[in-house]
Each structure stands twice: as structure tokens, then as C-alpha cells.
Structure 1
Amino acid sequence: MKDHGLPTPVLEIGGTHVTAALVQGAGEGGWQVVPDSLVRRDLDAHASAASLLDAVAAAANSLDAVATTANPPGQAHNGRWGVALPGPFDYLTGIARYEHVGKFDQLQGVDVRAGLAQRLSREPRSITFLNDADAFGIGEYVLGAAGGSRRAVCITLGTGVGSVFLADGVPVKTGADVPPDGHCYLLQFRGRPLEDTVSRRAIRRAYAAATAAVRQDAAVRRDAAVTDDTAGTDAAMTDHDAGAPDVREIAEACRAGDALAAAVLGDAFAAAGEAAGPYLERFGAEVLIVGGSMAESWDIVEPAIRKGLAAVAPVLATLPIRKAERTEEAGLVGAAFWAQRAASHS
């Protein structure tokens, strides 16, 4: 099918939602999401496999109703689907590998490509999958955050740590220069998984533990009684969030002069730099792009990451670190770019 310059349809699947959109490729105006094409629907990550695929397909099929004056009659898009979603997933075969990860467990072993192709009335080969962090990084690269750099690294900081190492816009997954499969969340920091230090849950727990310890110490001094110094901390760590404020609120407390908040956030983001630093150096990264919800606290995130990088690789002390520029569009554009690339190589 000739696409007549038609936009590429994409899906971005998260733990609570699916987003469908049309993305116009390179050309006049550059890569961009087609105005008014975006559809976002809720997903129940614990639903049956059939229900999940039905929900995703419903969002996808809604794009057929999107019409632009430039499209030939009856054609809303070129039919080359790009689908970005989290792992564990076999992106080449389209087989889900979710097991004991707290979401999409019912998709374990399911051929998602075949299931979607049937529901979309498309050939399976028309659907290209990629990791959501890869899609985001590729999108930021395509949209200009990499500033023309040939070797760029993008990390996302939110519920966990996402990452992609890009060579000329293509994810690098193997070799000693990158973490396993290019994923920083698989790295260790001081003998523990990195996400035990850098993640939404880890930061909330650390702040809860720190404030509990201070309260306990104050009580000890006030009552002049002997107490177990670790009791408050252990209790805070046992409760998943221990009533702690969210990361955004902890960042606000940091700006307001809360020394505990500053220490917790500084330690967490420096850990990201320390863990990833050796790989950025070996990879020859020319720029580090940081996205995710925590990047909104850029005044706190950037100097802490730089401190961590410099601590393990002094050469990275001057590495350009840039906040992701197109957070809402990047994953969608990255999925479209990857689908177009797959089509051109088929």
C-alpha cells in the first residue's frame, strides 16, 4: 500500500493506560503528533489477556475515525503500527514475558502481535514493538534534545529507572559499553539494585525513614529514655510508603530548606550518576538526556546527577546534561520512527 505521506499510527501502553495517536514523519514541520489525533484510555493491568488486547485494539481502531484533509478518502494512516510498551517483552517476536511483575501477568506467553493484528485486521508484520524507554529516548533524539550528538544516552526517572543508549538514533543493547540490554535499572548501587535507591518508592521510603529517625531521636532526648535506635527506621521501611509525601512534595520541602529532603534527593540522584557513569564513559556519550516525572525538579536533579557522574568518572564532569524537551510527544514519535525504520528495512 502506498502511504501518500500518510501519518504513522502508534500505541504507547503503560501500566494504567494506553495512548493511541497519529505521527507525521520527517518533512515540512518535522516529526510531530497530528493535532487532535491523540486518544488515551484506561487499562486494567490485572485484566484477562483478551480484555487487555480488546482495550488496546479499541484505542487503536479509534484512529480510523481521525481524518485529515491531506489523506486520500478512507485512509487515516499508513497502517505501519509502532507499539511502545514496558518489558519484560520479546520485542522481536511480539511475545509477552510478564510474570510476577505486578502488571500484565495474564499476558505471559501471549502472542500480542498476532492478537492485535487479528483485532486490527492487519498483517502481523505491520506491527513493530519496542521498549517504552527506548521509544522515549529515540523520540527525544529525533526531536532534537540530543543536539546532533551521535552517541546519546537517555534515562527516565519515575516509578523506576528507564534508559536507552543510542548510536545514531539506534538503541545499543549488547557489549561491554552498555548495561545488560542497555537497561540501567539492572545495575547495582553499593550492593543493592539501583531502584532500591532511585525510584519513587525508594525515595519515599528513605524520606520516611529519615524523618522517623529524627522524631525518634527527639523523643529520646525529651524522655531521657533508652530506646532502640533502629526501631523507627525499620518500621518506616516495612510500610511501603510509611505515610511519606510524594517525590514532588519532598522536592518542594527541599527548596523550602528541609535538610533531610535535600539529603535524600541528593543521595538518590547522585546514585543514578554513580551507577550509570562508568557506562556513559565507556560508551563515549556526548550528551545525557534526563526525562520522567522527577526531571520536573531539574534544579535538584541535574546537579546531583552531575556530582555522581564526576565522582566515578571525572571526565564526565562537563558532560552536557539536558532535560527532556518533548515529554508528552517523545514516546509516540519514537514509536513511529522505529516503525518507519522497520518498514524501510523489510
Structure 2
Amino acid sequence: MIPVLEIGGTHVTAALVSPRTAAVTARVRRPLDARGSAGDVLGAVLRCARSLPSVPGARWGVAVPGPFDYAKGVALFAGVGKFESLYGTDVRAALLDGLPGSPPDVVFRNDAHAFLAGEWSAGAARGHARAVGITLGTGVGSAFLADGGLRTSGAGVPPEGRLDLARIGGRPLEEVVSRRAILSRYGAAAGAGGGVPGDRAPGGGAAGAGLDVREIAERARAGEERACRVLATAFGALGAELGPRLAAFGATVLVVGGSMAESWDLLAPPLTAALAAEDRPPGAARRPVRALLGEDAALVGAAAAAAA
């Protein structure tokens, strides 16, 4: 069994994973404050890791969002609204010093890459030669996979394979599709009395204060027009950006995961409509597929990297 960590914007998960069967056991999930101090963040991660049964001498796999130097294990978070206290921190050294079982090494993998690798080996992307995966949560993660290998360049692939570096209408993609973008747009629409969905006013406005995307989704299900419009605008814009990229890359499946995938009934229709609006070659992905493994996908992908 391979010990693994999956570090997200609001949580950290530790587990033991069999790279052969993709079985996940001894899972422990704890809340994580991505805006906390470096000591608080690393302390929370290590406390979660120490709750696992010890596996002496095993390499650990860690799925973590970028920007991050995965080869060196150094955090490079800046301007992304999370983990910025870790900038320049040698996370590998910190983990090796505190992880149980005296591990010989820690192998880091981009969380979206780990997610798609897991789904390709045992989930929704299994059997597809070319697949694209996106994770929607505090930010937007992405991975482009061809014949089991991750691609960071080529037709349809954004710079460094990172969809968050793409732009929509001249704006960074994460100003249109992300947790903070949706909250901002919902508040802007409220402040304008239900005005323009694309307003860029910061914050949440009085009517949107204290809400998270989950609550906005609940309001949309209850029929609130503003909530429906904000979510449809965000996911429709994402589909319009993804459509040409999927075609150029030759992807036959688009797998969607992350915390926002829990609102699949609200996410899938505008995303599907935008994808369907684009011309596609035969066999190309025309609709999104929800991840089958859920949070386990990144855990399985991290274990595969540690076992390699």
C-alpha cells in the first residue's frame, strides 16, 4: 500500500492506496485553511498524515495544486488566493521531517494530473486514448492525456497544460470560472439589482455575503433567476473555451471533477450546450462526463506516481 496525501483549497486527505487495484483504504479527511500561515498549513497536513497506519520505508505520493515546482517540492503559490504563505517553502523537506514511517522520498504530482491519471486507470477515462480532465473548485485544474502520458504542449493544449492560464474575453479564465469568480459575479448581480452577469465588482454584496457556491447552487435549484444565470454564464463560458481545445487535441472524453461537480445538475446542461455548439470531428467529446472515482481519483493518481 502506498501512503498518499491530496491537498486541496479547503481540505487535506490522507489514505493508503493499492496502485495495482486502485483500492483506497484508511481514508482520513480534515479541513484546511488555505489562507493560514505556513506553519498552520503544514501542521494540518502532517497531523492528517500521522493519522494513517504507519508504512515504514514507503515513498509518499502527494497531489497538490499549482503553481508548484513538482520536481523540487517547492511551493510557488502567488496571486492565486490560496497557500500564498507557503511561497518558496521546501515542502518536501518539511514533509520528510514530519511524516511517519521515515519515508525515503515524497513524490509530488499536480492534483489535476493525478485526478485524470486516476480516472484513466480506473474511472471515467478508462479505455480512451485521448482524454481531458478538469477539476472545478477554488480554482480550475486541467490535464491533457494521450495514451497514458500527460501532455503540456501541442494542439489544443493551453500553456503548460494549465487551463487556468487561458483567457476568456480578454480576462483570465479563473476570473470567469472559479469559486471566487462565481461569488463575485453573484454579488455584483445582487448589487446591481440583478443586473449584468459579467459585472466584475469585488466581494459579495449585501445579498450575497456569507454565501458559498453550494448555497448559490441551492438557490438555483429553488428557482432563483440570479443564481441560475450566474452559474449558467460561468459554465457556458467554460464550455465555449473548452470546445475548440477538445477538438484540436482529439479528446474523446472530457472528465469533470472537483467540489463543483457535486452540483452536476446545474453544471452539466450549460457546459454541454456550449460544447454542442462547436463543430466536432467524429468521435470527439461532445458532452462532459462526471468523474467516477470522486476524490479517490487524485489519490490513485498520486499513488501511481509514488509507485513509478
Same fold (TM over 0.5): yes
Letter in 2 for 1:156: T
Q: Which residue of 2 aligns with 1:69?
A: none
| 8 Å Cα contact 1:9/1:77 also seen in 2 | no
- Is 1:122 the counterpart of 2:103? The answer is yes
Q: Which residue of 2 aligns with 1:84?
A: 63
SS at match of 1:159: coil
| 8 Å Cα contact 1:306/1:317 also seen in 2 | no
Q: Which residue of 2 aligns with 1:198?
A: 177
Residue of 330, 333, 340 corresponding to 2:297: 330
Deviation at 1:179, TM superposition (A): 0.7
Aligned residues: CA RMSD: 2.9
Q: Which structure has the highest helix share of the two? A: 1
Q: Which residue of 2 aligns with 1:4?
A: none
Q: Which residue of 2 aligns with 1:237?
A: 201
SS at match of 2:295: helix
Cα deviations across residues 255-308 of structure 1 (Å, max 9, x unaligned)? 444333333222211111111222111111010011122222222322211222
Deviation at 1:325, TM superposition (A): 1.5
- Distance, in Å, in 2 between the alignment partners of 1:98 and 1:196 is 17
Moved more, 42-51 or 83-92: 42-51
Letter in 1 for 2:257: G
- Distance, in Å, in 2 between the alignment partners of 1:288 and 1:280 is 8
Q: Any stretches of 5+ residues in structure 2 without a counterpart?
A: none
- Distance, in Å, in 2 between the alignment partners of 1:43 and 1:261 is 27
Cα deviations across residues 33-92 of structure 1 (Å, max 9, x unaligned)? 12xx12334445455545544443343343244xxxxxxxxxx36602101111111001
Q: Which residue of 2 aligns with 1:279?
A: 245
Q: Which residue of 1 aligns with 2:86?
A: 107
Deviation at 1:314, TM superposition (A): 4.3
- Distance, in Å, in 2 between the alignment partners of 1:270 and 1:87 is 25
| 8 Å Cα contact 2:190/2:207 also seen in 1 | no
Residue 122 and residue 258 in structure 1: after superposition, are their counterparts in 2 closer, same or farther (change >3 A)?
Answer: closer
SS at match of 1:109: coil
Cα deviations across residues 233-255 of structure 1 (Å, max 9, x unaligned)? 97x82434543243333334434
Q: Which residue of 2 aligns with 1:222?
A: none
Q: Any stretches of 5+ residues in structure 1 without a counterpart?
A: 1-6, 66-75, 217-229, 342-346
Whichever of the two has the greater Rg, that structure is 1
Cα deviations across residues 100-146 of structure 1 (Å, max 9, x unaligned)? 444333432222223322334333xx321011121222222222211
Deviation at 1:11, TM superposition (A): 1.0
Residue 293 and residue 119 in structure 1: after superposition, are their counterparts in 2 closer, same or farther (change >3 A)?
Answer: closer
| 8 Å Cα contact 2:252/2:284 also seen in 1 | no
Identity %, equivalent residues? 52
- Distance, in Å, in 2 between the alignment partners of 1:44 and 1:299 is 28
SS at match of 1:243: helix
Residue of 259, 263, 273 corresponding to 1:307: 273
SS at match of 1:103: coil
| 8 Å Cα contact 1:265/1:300 also seen in 2 | yes
- Distance, in Å, in 2 between the alignment partners of 1:310 and 1:257 is 25
